[in-house]
């Protein structure tokens, strides 16, 4: 059982962090400097939201899924970011954008994120909205620019990420979440909400890593099953941590779900059932990886970390 990322995962987090700084900055900082102080500030706010803190779970899934399909996929990229780094960063940019908007007063109205003031608190609301918009667009741009990948693969990557982020994915899930305040919903409805608001981007991260590595339909199918289980487990654990941990450990406000009257796995099924659910989903996720052997070692480590993390 692993409450912290393994050394191999920590190395990939570092790799992603370096690539994020480079790929956000790439030409943008010079452009902002020329365009004047308002754009410089927007650029600073984007870097604030993207590069400070965060577990990098989605990029880790991109890397690990690619390695499961073709272990050599992670070989390049020691100096310039490789194609797989572009894909990993695109997933993190969409995620970071979603957090900035999730924290806005009109959504969850949170002051603390990744151990620091939320972007709208450190800057202002209009800037936070624009940061989210800009990060989402930059993510798609990265996929179209990803080196080493064919035009067809890039198109499939854009389709996967755009669909996961959109109305039938994350944004749709956020709408259900906001609409569910003060409602008691049944476990099927809860599962749909979780699968969309958090599961869709996790599924896409795994699928994009596999696509970039040239996965067969059979491999992609097994990885989808893995991602469905671990994506749901991720949000079940987020709900458990919200109810059981403290703000300092989490780096975000604990107890927010109860304060905002949100239905969660914990409020709907109780803490023990929620914990059993997370362990059951972990077992399901690991079972889906059976055909991969050792090449799926990183995916197994991430799955374990997702369910046993402390923050
Ligand atoms: C939190 O995501 C928001 C959810 C989708 C539940 P993470 O727990 O991955 O947040 P960071 O990226 O580590 O800050
Ligand atoms: C956030 O869910 C999901 C997305 C950002 C899409 P939560 O509202 O539960 O995330 P936290 O707990 O604020 O990180
Ligand atoms: Mg929310
Ligand atoms: Mg929230
Ligand atoms: Mg939460």
What pLDDT shows up at residue 82? 93
Task: Assign 170 to helix, strand or coil.
Answer: helix
What pLDDT shows up at residue 147? 94
311 in contact with ligand 1, CB cutoff 6 A: no
**What is the DSSP secondary-structure string of 285-300?**
HHHHTGGGGGGGHHHH
89-103, 126-140, 219-233, 259-273: the lowest-pLDDT one:
259-273
4 touches 38 (CB < 8 A): no
Residue nearest to atom 12 of ligand 1 (CA): 54
Q: Which ligand is nearest to the CA of 58?
A: 1
Q: Which CATH superfamily is domain 7-308 in?
A: Farnesyl Diphosphate Synthase (1.10.600.10)
Q: How far is CA 127 from the centre of its chain?
A: 22
- Number of helices followed by number of strands (H, E) in the chain: 17, 2
What pLDDT shows up at residue 89? 98
The predicted-structure confidence for 113-124, as pLDDT tens digits, reads as follows 999 999 999 999
The predicted-structure confidence for 42-73, as pLDDT tens digits, reads as follows 999 999 999 999 999 999 999 999 999 999 99
What pLDDT shows up at residue 138? 97
What pLDDT shows up at residue 161? 98
The predicted-structure confidence for 181-191, as pLDDT tens digits, reads as follows 888 888 899 99
Task: Compute the mean pLDDT over every residue in the chain, rounded to the nearest whole number.
Answer: 95
Burial of residue 179 (number of CB atoms within 10 Å: 0-12, 13-18, 19+) = exposed
The overall pTM is greater than 0.85: yes
Pocket of ligand 2 (CB under 6 A): 98-99, 102, 108, 170, 174, 197-198, 238, 242, 252
Angle at 136 between CA 84 and CA 37, to 5 degrees: 110
Per-residue exposure over 105-115, b if at least 16 CB sit within 10 Å of its own CB, e if not: eeebebebbbe
Q: What are the residue ranges spanned by the domains of the chain?
A: 7-308
């Amino acid at each position: 059982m692993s409450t912290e990322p393994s050394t191999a995962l920590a190395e990939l987090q570092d790799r992603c962090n370096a690539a994020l700084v480079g790929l956000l900055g790439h030409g943008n900082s010079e452009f902002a400097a020329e365009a004047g102080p308002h754009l410089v500030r927007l650029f600073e706010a984007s870097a604030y939201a993207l590069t400070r803190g965060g577990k990098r779970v989605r990029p880790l899934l991109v890397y690990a899924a690619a390695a499961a399909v073709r272990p050599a996929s992670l070989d390049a990229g020691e100096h310039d970011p490789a194609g797989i780094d572009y894909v990993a960063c695109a997933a993190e940019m969409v995620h970071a954008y979603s957090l900035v908007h999730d924290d806005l007063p009109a959504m969850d109205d949170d002051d603390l994120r990744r151990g620091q003031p939320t972007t709208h608190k450190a800057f202002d609301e209009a800037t936070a909205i624009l940061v989210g918009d800009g990060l989402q667009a930059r993510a798609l741009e990265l996929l179209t620019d990803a080196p080493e990948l064919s035009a067809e693969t890039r198109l499939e990557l854009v389709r996967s990420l755009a669909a996961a982020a959109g109305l039938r994915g994350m944004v749709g899930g956020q709408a259900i979440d906001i609409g569910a305040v003060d409602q008691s919903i049944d476990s099927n409805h809860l599962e749909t909400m979780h699968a969309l608001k958090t599961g869709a981007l996790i599924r896409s991260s795994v699928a994009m890593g596999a696509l970039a590595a040239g996965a067969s339909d059979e491999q992609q199918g097994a990885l989808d099953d893995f991602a469905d289980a671990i994506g749901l487990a991720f949000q079940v654990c987020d709900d458990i941590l919200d109810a059981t941990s403290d703000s300092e450990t989490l780096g975000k406000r604990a107890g927010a779900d109860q304060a905002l009257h949100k239905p969660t796995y914990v409020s709907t099924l109780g803490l023990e059932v929620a914990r059993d659910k997370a362990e059951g989903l972990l077992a399901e996720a690991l079972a889906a990886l059976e055909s991969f052997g050792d090449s799926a070692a990183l995916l197994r480590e991430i799955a374990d970390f997702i369910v046993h993390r402390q923050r």
